[in-house]
Structure 1
Amino acid sequence: MGAVDWIACGLAGLLLVSTSACASPGTAPAAARTAVASPTVPAPTATATPMPGTDGAPLDPETTPGVTLTGVGVGAPHQQPAFASKALDVLATLPVKGRAPKTGYSREQFGQAWADVDRNGCDTRNDMLRRDLTALALKLGTRDCVVLSGVLNDPYTATAINFLRGNSTSTAVQIDHVVALSDAWQKGAQQLSPAQRLSFANDPLNLLAVDGPTNIRKSDGDAATWLPPNKSYRCDYVARQISVKSSYGLWVTQAEHDAMARVLADCPDALAPTDQGEPPAQEAPPVQQAAPAPAPAQVQMAPAPVAPAQAPAYYANCAAVRAAGAAPIHVGQPGYSSKLDRDGDGVGCE
């Protein structure tokens, strides 16, 4: 089951609670404003830091508070599902086995609760509150780390929950381990290294801010024994459990497998959430450019022959003019000459 509040600091100036144990802020990010339904935050890869202070909320309803596991690096989990993998396809890859004995399980097997595994100066609980709540009010002097109030659109009950940090109010919003730590222990986590179990307990892929009482009712149930009351969220919930179990090499029981398959039958295209990005598009091989067609040969056309200029007509006498049918011949006509025009009236061979 998921973890309950473990608060870093009390309300400064608003509630009389201790803030002496606040984690020293480092480079905390600005307040998140993302939706709660499908967060995708990279799995942590750093080391644990000292546990923040508490406002009196219990650590985890499914267990008793564990001891601090220090000096342990966070081990890399198994590879998360590939981008856009269908949850049904990933479910088919999970081994189906019976539960292992719960012998040896305790909360401390998963390391320090709400460790600052990503070294951003904030404990995991406040990271998840900033990610999943809206209308945030953040404590001054914590570099936008400690959440004083906000609104949760709860995925488990489909209700809006007002969160107010305090001894008696913080448990209204709890951080759930979607795959409960106890359930993971009985289905393969015993074989993980301490560093990998610390990563599992603080992995944003496996964490959701949810309604506190509903989280307590869930306890450490798997999909065969508990599903969110909000039926519209069950596909996303089961898909997330499948992704988490695949990422850490855990198995499912037959009853759990069948329950997951029944839920996904109503949403066969549901995707397993993952941090894996879309693979870069492969460049198409260059298209071989066809050689340009040769230009048509330029045919040199011989110039058209020029007809030789006709020599001006010449008549030896009027007999020749009449023989050529040119009589009478007028001045300006080819072949006219004054010798043909004896009276000089401009008309020859009259």
Structure 2
Amino acid sequence: MSSSSPVSAVSSATAPHVVDDCLGIVQLLSDGTVTRSADYSAIPLLGEVPSNLPVQWKDVVYDPAHALRLRMYRPTDTDGGKTTNNKLPVLVYFHGGGFCICSFEMPHFHAGGLRLAAELPALVLSADYRLGPEHRLPAAHRDAEAVLSWLRAQAEADPWLVESADMGRVFVCGDSAGGNIAHHIAVQYGTGHLALGPVVRLGGYIMLWPYFAAEERTASETAGLDVDHQFVSTALLDQMWRLALPVGATRDHPAANPFGPDSVPLEDVAFQPLLVVDPDQDVLHDRTQDYAARLTAMGKLVELVVFRGQGHGFFVFDPCGEASDQLIHVIRRFVLLHKHPCNLVDLSTTM
């Protein structure tokens, strides 16, 4: 199944032709039309989605105007992780995909949602958002804010949230583009532009190989230009930025570069604790290290966990593998450590 939609009026004397093709999933044509496929078989998936985890799930619409949904996961057989009020922490999860592909419905992310709900344990909200090039940034960032606003509005209305959610322990998590989104939410919340209280209190942010960029290359990005055996290469990430950023924007745009010339200065932004996960074979390895180091130098509480021998998106491509088992353990420890938003402890870990 595929769909097409115009994104701009581009005059052409010839028949429309493909000017950008991302994995055969998204094609941008010369007349501004976008063709989008629902076939994600090009994205690797190792193993099978677990079918025996004690988790129930349901889909809900969080933004009717844009027909945007999220999937809620609730563990059905656990007492661990609950507070004295018998509630579970909430993990709001944003999927990766370079801001132009993927969905929570994919088996890759569905498996991750099942595991996180069952094994943290937590009430997990895995959300979709608008994708480029039909909806270029900051559309995805605005949608992420809408997810948190929906959570605040539904805290005393949705039965699962009423029964199971501890709104004093809400964590924002995401992989790749979702990690970028987690940073954006941290800035919006930390500057007071995203009002969630007193209903919702964010306890921390979990950034899995966050998708950042800049015009100036890091060493690992430069090396990644010459690598053709990795699924996630520098060239692929560059292409996704080209499709996701506003037309004409560079990789120093605030949506891509958190330290760019037009980005919000982060020194005075009040961050909750951050868990940053860095696979050392990722082309973004150096950039992730730099992000964590800069925030630490600013006095932010950052736990940097390096996964040796792993590449970008290992939890997505192999959600039930050994490294993903270790990742679940790391996330669980972080969530348990920060039971209260004011619980600040300095951490440093290498896997």
- What TM-score comes out, normalization by structure 1 length? 0.27
Bigger share in strand:
2
In our comparison, the structure showing a higher alpha carbon Rg is 1
Structure number with greater CO (CA < 8 Å, separation at least 6) is: 1
The structure carrying a bigger helix percent of its residues is 2
